[in-house]
Copies of this chain bind each other. A is one copy, B any other.
C-alpha cells in the first residue's frame, strides 16, 4: 500500500528516523502510525545492540541547573567521534539527559549497575509488602518480579520514561537507541553527578 507524504512527515517528526525508514515502516504497518513507530523503535534497538560493543571515547560533558541553582546535574555522554560530539542534536541529547537526571534522580545508569545488595534488599521489601497485603505464598515470587520492573523503571536511567516524550511510551534507553540508529555510532551515558542544595545534610 502507499502512504501519504503527510503521514511520513509526521512519523519522521515523532521518531527522528530518516524519511525512507518512516515510509517503509508505515507501509509495513498498513498506515497505522502507532504500529509504524513501534517497528521503528525495534529497528533502532536492533541497530543499537549491534553497535553496543564499540568503543566510545569521545563525547560531551553537559550540565543542567534547575530552579535558580538549587539543584544541578553534570553528565558525561560518550560517542565514537568528535564529529558526532559536535553535532547539535547530540548536544541536545546530552542536555535532555541532564534534565532527565535532575527531574527523576536515578540511582543507577543501567539495570546491570544495580548492585546485588540493593537488589536483594528491594526484593525483601517487596515480598514483605506483598505478604502484609495478604497475598498467598504461592504467588509471592511472581508479584515481586512484577513489582521489581517498577523499581528498575524508577531507579535506572535507561529504564525510565523520557520526561519530554509526550506519548509516555519512549524510555531513555530507546531515546538513546534512536540516536545510535541516526548517527550510526555507539552512544553511552558514562557517569553523572546530581547535587541538591542541603541534601543529605544533618539537620541543625
- Report the interface size for chain A: residues with CB under 8 A from the other chain: 31
9-residue interface stretch from A125-133, A147-155, A157-165, A189-197:
A189-197
Q: Measuring CB to CB, which residues of chain A are less than 8 angstroms from any residue of chain B? A: 55, 57-63, 65, 68-76, 78, 85-86, 91, 94, 191, 193, 195-198, 201, 204
Cβ-defined contact, B193 with A57, below 8 A: no
Cβ-defined contact, A198 with B62, below 8 A: no
Cβ-defined contact, B65 with A62, below 8 A: yes
Cβ-defined contact, A57 with B201, below 8 A: yes
Cβ-defined contact, B69 with A72, below 8 A: no
Cβ-defined contact, B69 with A197, below 8 A: no
Cβ-defined contact, A61 with B195, below 8 A: yes
User: A55-B204, A94-B69, A204-B55 in contact; A197/B61 too (CB < 8 A)?
Assistant: yes
Nearest Cβ distance between residue A72 and chain B, in whole angstroms?
Answer: 4
Nearest Cβ distance between residue A56 and chain B, in whole angstroms?
Answer: 9
What are 27 of the A-B contact pairs (CB < 8 Å)?
Answer: A55-B204, A57-B204, A59-B197, A60-B69, A60-B70, A60-B197, A61-B69, A61-B71, A61-B195, A61-B196, A61-B197, A62-B65, A62-B69, A63-B63, A63-B65, A63-B72, A63-B74, A69-B85, A72-B74, A72-B76, A74-B74, A74-B193, A74-B195, A76-B197, A78-B197, A85-B197, A193-B195
User: A61-B70, A62-B65, A62-B69 in contact; A76/B195 too (CB < 8 A)?
Assistant: yes
Contact partners of A61 in chain B: CB under 8 A: 65, 69-72, 195-197
Contact partners of A94 in chain B: CB under 8 A: 69
Contact partners of A58 in chain B: CB under 8 A: 197-198
Give A157 to B76 CA distance when docked, in angstroms. 23
Nearest Cβ distance between residue A63 and chain B, in whole angstroms?
Answer: 4
Contact partners of A60 in chain B: CB under 8 A: 69-70, 197
Contact partners of A91 in chain B: CB under 8 A: 69
Give A71 to B76 CA distance when docked, in angstroms. 9
